[in-house]
Amino acid sequence: MRVTFLLPSDNLTGGNRVVAIYAQQLMARGHQVLVVTCAPDRLSWREKLRAVLRRNWQALRNDGAAQPGHIQLSGVPHKILERPRAIEASDVPDADVIVATWWETAVWMHRMPSTKGRKVHLIQGYEVWLAPQATAQVQAALRLPNLKIAISSDLKHTIEEQIGDLGITVVPNAVDLTQFNAPWRSKQQTPTVGFVYAVAHIKGADICTRACELARLQIPQLKVVAFGADQPNAEVPVPSGTEFFYRPAQSELRDIYARCDAWLFGSRLDSFGLPILEAMACRTPVIAVPIGAASDLLGDGTGVLVAKESPEEMAAAIVALCRQSADEWERASDRAYRKAHGYSWDDAADRLLTALQQH
């Protein structure tokens, strides 16, 4: 089968990681795959001025540059457009299946002839959060006639609650169990927690930071680690003394997760939350808000669910977990590991192919 994926850009987001993994999985099964992405966006003059005023030289250096994302790093066949613009039919080959991964790419795909493939919308988010003024356009894109596949039951429910029944099939994300794996370990002498850092408000780094600061009032020796594609700044700080890893290599993520006694997930909006599964696969219990797949993954007691927008409740969970006995923590670690390793990307790819072949 010939499959084309359409992406608005190549970056280090979880959504791009999912596409890269599916592309690799399909190729391993003998299918032909191509990922087509737009050229990197350029900063507007207002954004450039703001970067100068904030001394964000990194943003200026990266302006318009093709920073390696998950698609490029995965090594799958990849075509990048020459400038920022819509992907057109002439940019993609004839294929059996064409997959949109963002609402705008779904619109572009809809305009293409049937020779470009059976149209599929891989829904990785209810994308009204990024551009509220485009809500009507996002909803119109979701109503377009195509096969719709969502990455979590929570995402399907959120969308259909607003728009109505769209016949969405759910194929949950998994985790690379060869990359994210860790040997058995016991609770550490110095309690350590970690989280993914991002400056975007919806990612909730401020919630995780505040929770750590509150937890330190009861556990002063609490150590914090974090990683992210953004450098911490004064507007969205990390806890004092945080060991921060900027854009770590994918091979380093396992060790970062495995050095923690608990992983925090405080996102205000997320369609899945891959770090939850990645941490669990590395035997690290997770404390999370009920966003994305968190409720499905942790609601049975595998981890700890806390209220949204409540660093106080997250801090209390940190303290409780760090004060567990070694035996209690090891049982929590084992539950996380077994849950994450019970469903692989092989399983997800099989379900994706079944969905594609049945429609």
Q: Which residues form the domain of 137? A: 2-174+344-357
Task: Answer yes or no: is 348 within a domain.
Answer: yes
Q: Are residues 220 and 245 in the same domain?
A: yes
Whole-angstrom Cα distance, residue 317 to residue 310? 11
Q: Are residues 48 and 121 in the same domain?
A: yes
Assess contact for 166 and 143: CB atoms under 8 A: yes
Q: Are residues 151 and 203 in the same domain?
A: no
- Is this prediction's pTM over 0.85? no
Q: Are residues 327 and 250 in the same domain?
A: yes
Reference 321, options 219, 233, 241, 242; nearest CA is 219
Q: Are residues 162 and 211 in the same domain?
A: no
Q: Which residue positions in the chain have pLDDT lower than 50? A: 43-45, 47-48, 60, 64
Whole-angstrom Cα distance, residue 276 to residue 284? 9
- pLDDT at residue 270 in the model: 87
Q: If you ran DSSP here, which 8-state letter would residue 304 be given? A: E
- pLDDT at residue 55 in the model: 61
Task: Answer yes or no: is 43 within a domain.
Answer: yes
- pLDDT at residue 44 in the model: 46
Q: Are residues 151 and 9 in the same domain?
A: yes
Q: Are residues 221 and 109 in the same domain?
A: no
Task: Answer yes or no: is 70 within a domain.
Answer: yes
Assess contact for 80 and 64: CB atoms under 8 A: no
Whole-angstrom Cα distance, residue 161 to residue 173? 22
Identify residue 293 by its one-letter amino acid code. Answer: A
Q: Are residues 216 and 159 in the same domain?
A: no
pLDDT in tens, 40-58: 755 444 544 555 555 655 5
Q: Are residues 126 and 202 in the same domain?
A: no
Task: Answer yes or no: is 182 within a domain.
Answer: no
Q: Are residues 154 and 216 in the same domain?
A: no
Task: Answer yes or no: is 186 within a domain.
Answer: no
Burial of 118 (0-12, 13-18, 19+ CB in 10 A): middle
Task: Answer yes or no: is 104 within a domain.
Answer: yes
Assess contact for 287 and 318: CB atoms under 8 A: yes
Task: Answer yes or no: is 352 within a domain.
Answer: yes
**CATH code: domain of residue 304:** 3.40.50.2000
According to DSSP, the β-strands at 97-100 and 118-123 are parallel
- pLDDT at residue 190 in the model: 97
Whole-angstrom Cα distance, residue 274 to residue 294? 10
Q: Are residues 210 and 273 in the same domain?
A: yes
Whole-angstrom Cα distance, residue 25 to residue 198? 28
Q: Are residues 249 and 167 in the same domain?
A: no
Q: How many domains does the chain have?
A: 2
Assess contact for 258 and 289: CB atoms under 8 A: no
